[in-house]
Amino acid sequence: MAQWYLIPNNTSVVRPDREEAREKLRSQKSLLAKKKSIGRSLSNKADVDGDWTLQLPSNSRKLLFDLNTLENDVLALAVGGYESIADFSLKSLIADRTLARKSMV
């Protein structure tokens, strides 16, 4: 036969930490809600300003500007294509390299 155990109806006896866990969960949820609210307000502010780079530190902004300038320079050089070196032969390139080595020695 199966034995029946009496289980107490008092939940604080069964799980005394239940209320503590609920309070901890509530505080975490409110903290997450605050973070989301701050994130939304910063996002809206960036959208209003139109320039998200103003949110960056000055050194990061300068680095971003320099990278953008470098990208524009590379793209400008890529537009020219190979026309500037089309008249070079492999022999002339090797000769130029040999001359460069001799001048460095």
Length, in residues, of the chain:
105
Residues of the chain with pLDDT under 70: 1-16, 42-49, 79-85, 99-105
Q: Dump pLDDT digits (tens) for 60-87.
A: 999 999 999 999 988 887 766 666 667 7
Give the per-residue pLDDT at 92: 78
Residue in this structure with the two tokens 């500037």, named with its chain if needed: 84
Within a 13 Å sphere around the CA of 76, how many CA atoms are in the beta-carbon half? 6
Give the per-residue pLDDT at 73: 87
Distance CA 26, CA 95 (A): 76
Residues 6+ apart with CB under 8 A from 15: none
